[in-house]
Amino acid sequence: MKCAFLSSALWFMANIAVAEPLDCAAPVTTVDINRCTGQTVERAEATLDKYLQASLRRNAENSELTDRINASQTTWQAYREAHCGAIYEALKDGTLRGTAAGQCQLRMTRERIYELWQSWLTLGDASSPVLPDPSVREAAFQLDLTDDQLAEVGQKIFQNECAGNVDCLVHWNRGEAFPSLGIGHFIWYPTGVDGRFVESFPDLVAFMQARSADLPGWLTRLEPLDAPWPDREAFIAAQGSEKIEGLRRFLNRTKHLQAEFMFRRAERSMTRVVEAAPTSEQAAISQRLKALAATPGGVYALIDYVNFKGEGLSASERYDGEGWGLLQVLQHMPETQTRAAVDLFRQSAAEVLTRRAENAPRAIEKAQWLPGWLKRVETYRE
């Protein structure tokens, strides 16, 4: 029953004192913040319903499929209410418990909208999707690069990950439980492996399918979309096979799509990290992101770091309770008007990564990996 109370509480936040003017661009009181959060959640839920109904209409001729879509939606709703209700309970003695729970609902609702769009509303040809990409349409931040600048960013990241070596496009690092693929070394877990780090290769595959890329046939037939090699030994034994060589050729000729995928991913991440930050820090973090997004060097730093070390939002990406993603770097940036944002970001990233290596359970991170990480963030310059 606590979950039902949470939903009722959010409705109440959105509608109390409706006769009073409300400036959600700069809410002042806790009541204002709660009301604005509730209103934003309501708008997101209206968008969710729009994308859900479109998904059902598009697949109306397959009743078994629409039943499964409805069932998955019901299961997701129960999970969202339970998870955000737990956050509400954990903060029940605080004045912003409703805001924190509302931000949880907002974040998960937007993720669900994107999942519906990606799964059911993108087409397998050159046609436009049934509805627009919600992550682009609703983004609070936008990055701006010319095609040539984006190609240059993609090449820089390829250099960072692989030193420009095409063989490295399909690779499995020693000591890791997963292969890394493409110019961004996107993580791909084998069946049964539930790793600490956020997986990204399946999302890249979905993005490429939405862009009508000609994927290797065996890759489109994988169900589930897990790496087909159970471990590094099996991967090494398969070197030279058409499966690996064909995948390497495909990734080599689609560098532009991989760069666009990282660009879009970073753009979505900017909104997500602001929403995940404590309310008291959101304005400062938003300003830092805007300053970084204002220059090509800052945009490159954002794209590369999100691809390199993630958003910093996953609870599994922590050592001793400390994360190392984009959120943590932004939180750690010093307050000064005398240095460029990208220089402050570079300094903060080096400090955050050094702290990660010091907290890491494996000595290899500090002894072998940290020097390469620090060399990489040194490229964050105008």
So what's the pLDDT on residue 27? 55
The reported pLDDT for the residue numbered 127 is 58
Range list of H helices, the chain = 2-15, 30-58, 63-90, 97-116, 134-137, 147-162, 201-210, 217-220, 232-237, 242-253, 255-276, 279-293, 296-309, 326-332, 341-359, 363-364, 370-377
Instruction: Indicate if the pLDDT at residue 12 is higher than 70.
Output: no
Instruction: Give me the pLDDT at residue 337, please.
Output: 75
Q: What is the mean pLDDT of residues 252-277?
A: 92
Segment (H or E) for 312: none
User: Counting Cβ atoms within 10 Å, is residue 355 exposed (0-12), middle (13-18) or buried (19+)?
Assistant: middle
Average pLDDT over residues 206-214: 87
Averaged pLDDT, 196-204 = 89
pLDDT at 23: 55
Q: Which residue has the tokens 């598009």?
A: 58
- Using CA atoms, how far residue 4 sits from 1, 39, 82, 108, 282, in Å, is 5, 18, 10, 17, 28
Report whether pLDDT(139) > 80.
no
User: What is the token pair recorded at 183?
Assistant: 């110019």
* Rounded Cα–Cα distance for residues 147 and 380 (Å): 20
Decide which of 351 and 15 is more confident: 351
Is residue 4 pLDDT above 70, yes or no? no
> What is the per-residue pLDDT for 18?
45
What confidence tier does 358 reach under pLDDT thresholds 50, 70, 90?
A: very high
- Report residue 95's pLDDT band, with 50, 70 and 90 as the boundaries: low
Q: Answer yes or no: is pLDDT of 212 > 90.
A: no
Among 153, 346, 89, residue whose Cα is nearest residue 161: 153
Judged by DSSP in three states, 368 sits in helix
Q: Is domain 2-137 given the CATH code 1.20.58.100 in the classification?
A: no
- Reported as a single tens digit per residue, the pLDDT across 19-63 is 455 555 445 566 777 777 788 888 889 999 999 999 999 999 999
Q: pLDDT higher for 43 or 157?
A: 157
Mean pLDDT, residues 6-17? 46
Place of tokens 């499929």: 65
Locus of tokens 């794209």: 303
The residue ranges of every structural domain in the chain are 2-137, 147-256, 268-377
346 exposure class (CB count in 10 Å sphere: 0-12, 13-18, 19+): buried
Mean pLDDT confidence for 190-217: 89
Minimal CA–CA distance to 100: which of 79, 86, 121? 86
Q: What is the pLDDT of residue 11?
A: 42
Residue 313 pLDDT class (50, 70, 90 cuts): confident
3-state secondary structure of 177: coil
CA distance 166 to 381: 26
Handedness of CA 270, 271, 276, 279 (dihedral sign): positive
